A and B are shown apart, each in its own frame.
Chain A
Amino acid sequence: MRINPRITNSVVRWLLNAQAYFTVGILIVIIAIIFVKGFPQVNFAFILSFPQDMGRHGGIFPAIVGTIQLALLSILLATPLGVGTAIFLTEYTRESAFTKLIRFGVESLAGIPSILYGLFGFIFFVIKLKMGWSLLAGVLTLTIMILPTIIRTSEEAIRSVPRQLRIVSYSLSASKWETIKKVVLPAAMPGILTGIMLSIGRAVGETAAIIFTMGSSLRLPLSLMDSGRTMAVHFYILAREGISMEKAYGTAVVLVLSILFINIIAYYIMNKTIARYS
């Protein structure tokens, strides 16, 4: 018996629909669980006080500070490097063997899993360069890790700046760098910002690469050579060593909320840019 194609069509449509909602449902369930279990733990004292007894009591203030330090410093290093690379790839060369080589490098960096970054950061920064488990080693490792994201998004953003803008600038006798600095970069800024926000999100959620470079000291890192821990690492240690499920959920809420907030801003900026250019 042959099934009417129209019936198959509606059945499939329904099935695909269900699977799409199922996927989004997973996201909603994850967020809901974290919020329902974690929110009762979170208050000002939790955010602003120091942990006591390995995190069994008290708050997560050093972990929050450590996360912010790590994310901001990595972005500070990765942004000029990444945007500079993107400018070079889009404005200063044609496609050649050299650009292909650089693109290969960027693609390869993007494909390396974070545990290998951890392994590399551990042997290179922590051991060979004698930084020890420190904020600096974490920052440098993370900088390399987020570089590909910043390069890719910046390159796309710079490419989407209309050619006419550049031509007008040149016709006013601006030099190449002046054109880039005053015309191209401002126009590409929203796209670049999206990349930066996504990278911050990645930095905040990263664990494997950080735990072996920045270490997991519970003290507040006061210098670049101090060890510290991020919220993600703190959460991992609380959960894995079964120190305190309540505090783990509480940390998870702050962690997931910050990442959602950062990523939503990123998509908001991106959508606005897309709307402007299309």
Chain B
Amino acid sequence: MIDRTVLKEQFVKWVLIAFALSSLLFLFLIFAFILGEGLPLFLKVGVKNIIFGMKWAPTKGYFGIFPMIISSFLVTFGALVIGAPLGLSCAIYLSEYSGKKMKMFLKPAIELLAGIPSVVFGFLGVIYIVPIVRNYLGGSGFSLISTSLVLGVMILPTIISISFDALVSVPKTYREASAAMGATKWQTIYKVIIPSAKSGILASFILGMGRAIGETMAVIMIAGNALKIPTSILDPLRTLTGNIALELAYATGDHRLALFSTGVVLMLIIMILNYIANFGIKRKIAK
């Protein structure tokens, strides 16, 4: 006779394995369905005509998303220009300068910033940032620079928390050795601590980029969604994410397939960024 406890233990184990496998199943389904809908159009129209195509008129057979790819990278780069220095400074302040009480206040505040929904960022961007850009810099205000500003703030929590972890994990002995050589705190930070935490800081920038390039709701509210490559920071633009969100609700036939093709390109970019951040850089840390 088999012991009931043993039987139960076995049962629980298999249930847990099934649960653990569910994540892989979901990932597989997501890939399968987005690729399944997105790839046929690449075969039909040609990879070149989609990725390097300049014209997007999906109901007339033009599926070019090159301007959107460029625009996505432009806003991401813009967000990084704003978010990276500010985020790194905050992380340095938190890990090296702030007292315990200050940290107890600042860290949760920054994490709460991460919880503000992207629609709220978008809304405030439209109400406050867009008019400021329109009045002081010109153009319609719905522009590369407005989008970058808002995205720059949105990626701050990602950059701060990951850079902070990297800075904190620099061994105390490094700091002590540097201080013993008579270095000031700032000399220690920029000659010892930042170089040792370099890969973690880079990872935070790349994950911040991933967040910016995948951001949707705030972007469609602020970017202006024009279908061309912006030639100045005051020009409106449409990103890959924006393209999907703007048209998915009413698209049919090849038009809908083209939105999934846009999704395939977006997924590819995100995967490359995550791969660099997770494997390329973390492996270096392990060494």
Cβ contacts under 8 Å, B124 to chain A: 30, 33-34
Binary B-proximity of A171-192 (CB < 8 A = 1, otherwise 0): 0000111000000000000000
A114 to B215, CA, bound (A): 8
Cβ contacts under 8 Å, A33 to chain B: 124, 128
Q: Please state if B109 and A27 are interface contacts (CB–CB under 8 Å).
A: yes
Is B217 among interface residues, defined by CB-CB distance under 8 A?
A: yes
Is B1 among interface residues, defined by CB-CB distance under 8 A?
A: no
A118 to B184, CA, bound (A): 51
Cβ contacts under 8 Å, B271 to chain A: 108, 111
A122 to B241, CA, bound (A): 15
Q: Which of B1-50 contact A (CB under 8 A)?
A: 5, 8-9, 12-13, 15-17, 19-24, 26-27, 29-30, 33-34, 37
A209 to B156, CA, bound (A): 22
A127 to B108, CA, bound (A): 41
Is B245 among interface residues, defined by CB-CB distance under 8 A?
A: yes
B-side interface size class: 35 or more
Residue in chain B with minimal CB distance to A16: B93
A235 to B221, CA, bound (A): 12
Is B59 among interface residues, defined by CB-CB distance under 8 A?
A: no
Q: Please state if A87 and B117 are interface contacts (CB–CB under 8 Å).
A: no
A119 to B93, CA, bound (A): 40
Q: Please state if A92 and B98 are interface contacts (CB–CB under 8 Å).
A: no
Q: Please state if B267 and A116 are interface contacts (CB–CB under 8 Å).
A: yes
Shortest distance between the CB of B130 and any CB in chain A (Å): 12
Cβ contacts under 8 Å, B30 to chain A: 109, 112, 116-117, 120, 144
Q: Which of A55-95 contact B (CB under 8 A)?
A: 80-81, 84-85, 87-89, 92
Residue in chain B with minimal CB distance to A148: B23
Tell me if A's interface is mostly helix, strand, loop or mixed: helix
A118 to B128, CA, bound (A): 28
Cβ contacts under 8 Å, A122 to chain B: 248
Is B111 among interface residues, defined by CB-CB distance under 8 A?
A: yes
Is A8 among interface residues, defined by CB-CB distance under 8 A?
A: yes
**Of the residues B97, B126, B128, contact of A16 by C-beta under 8 Å:** B97
Q: How many A-B residue pairs have CB under 8 A?
A: 229
Q: Please state if A20 and B117 are interface contacts (CB–CB under 8 Å).
A: no
Q: Please state if A19 and B19 are interface contacts (CB–CB under 8 Å).
A: no
Q: Please state if A89 and B20 are interface contacts (CB–CB under 8 Å).
A: yes
> Given the known A-B contacts A9-B186, A23-B113, A212-B249, are A175 and B5 also in contact in the complex, defined by CB atoms under 8 Å?
yes
Cβ contacts under 8 Å, B121 to chain A: 30
> Given the known A-B contacts A30-B116, A240-B221, are A123 and B34 also in contact in the complex, defined by CB atoms under 8 Å?
yes
Cβ contacts under 8 Å, B27 to chain A: 105, 108-109
A102 to B23, CA, bound (A): 7
Shortest distance between the CB of A79 and any CB in chain B (Å): 11
Is A157 among interface residues, defined by CB-CB distance under 8 A?
A: no
> Given the known A-B contacts A124-B29, A208-B245, are A105 and B117 also in contact in the complex, defined by CB atoms under 8 Å?
no
**Of the residues B5, B15, B117, contact of A84 by C-beta under 8 Å:** B15
Cβ contacts under 8 Å, A212 to chain B: 248-249
Of A44-52, A160-168, A219-227, A256-264, the stretch lying at the interface with chain B is: A256-264
Binary B-proximity of A11-42 (CB < 8 A = 1, otherwise 0): 01101110110111011001001100000000
Q: Please state if B120 and A256 are interface contacts (CB–CB under 8 Å).
A: yes
Is B253 among interface residues, defined by CB-CB distance under 8 A?
A: no
A211 to B241, CA, bound (A): 14
Can you list 13 A-B pairs with a CB-CB distance of less than 8 A? A16-B89, A23-B113, A27-B112, A88-B20, A92-B17, A115-B244, A123-B33, A207-B118, A208-B118, A212-B248, A239-B126, A259-B117, A260-B115
> Which positions in A face B, CB cutoff 8 Å?
5-6, 8-9, 12-13, 15-17, 19-20, 22-24, 26-27, 30, 33-34, 80-81, 84-85, 87-89, 92, 101-102, 105-109, 111-120, 122-124, 128, 144, 147-148, 151, 175-177, 201-202, 204-208, 211-212, 232, 235-236, 239-240, 248, 252, 255-256, 259-260, 263-264, 267
> What 3 A-B pairs have minimum CB-CB distances, sorted nearest first?
A113-B214, A205-B117, A84-B19
